[in-house]
Amino acid sequence: MKKFILRKTNNTKNKGIMSKTVELQIEKSRHLIEGLRKHLNGMGGGVTSDEINSMEQSLKELEAANADIDRLREELTPKVKHMNEVLTRVKEAYAAKKKTLKGYYPQERWADYGIPDKR
């Protein structure tokens, strides 16, 4: 089973390895379908017109699903960025308040404020 890791790129879209894999498969499948259609009559059997049509239909479904994912990824990117900014602010506020409480109260009182009494 292949594992896919999403990674950020420097362009405006966040394209992961999975998306690139899908795009490559779409491209290869298009070329195969074109080749099969050109040479269907000259083939000695094994592939029928119905099978090519079925493959082409599946390819169209894959293209539509890929387009939906790209659209969702573009919508999600700014939301994730915003969430990360808010998370950073929360972490900074937490660390600052924790430091203040640890400096002001003895270790025995830290638990009263939800701070584990570890140093």
Query: What are 18-21's contacts with CB under 8 Å, separation 24+?
Result: 19/66, 19/69, 19/70, 19/73
Q: Is the residue at 5 inside a domain? A: no
pLDDT confidence band for 1 (50 / 70 / 90): very low
Q: Domains in the chain: how many in total?
A: 1
Q: Is the residue at 51 inside a domain? A: yes
**pLDDT tens string 93-109:** 999 999 999 999 999 89
Q: Is the residue at 106 inside a domain? A: yes
Q: Is the residue at 3 inside a domain? A: no
Token couple for 31: 């070329």
Q: Is the residue at 10 inside a domain? A: no
Q: What is the pLDDT of residue 7?
A: 42
Residue with tokens 């109260």: 105
Q: Is the residue at 4 inside a domain? A: no
Token couple for 18: 């999975």
**pLDDT tens string 2-61:** 444 444 444 444 455 568 899 999 999 999 999 999 988 877 678 899 999 999 999 999
Q: What is the pLDDT of residue 18?
A: 64
Q: Is the residue at 100 inside a domain? A: yes
Q: Which domain holds residue 52?
A: 17-113
Q: Is the residue at 108 inside a domain? A: yes
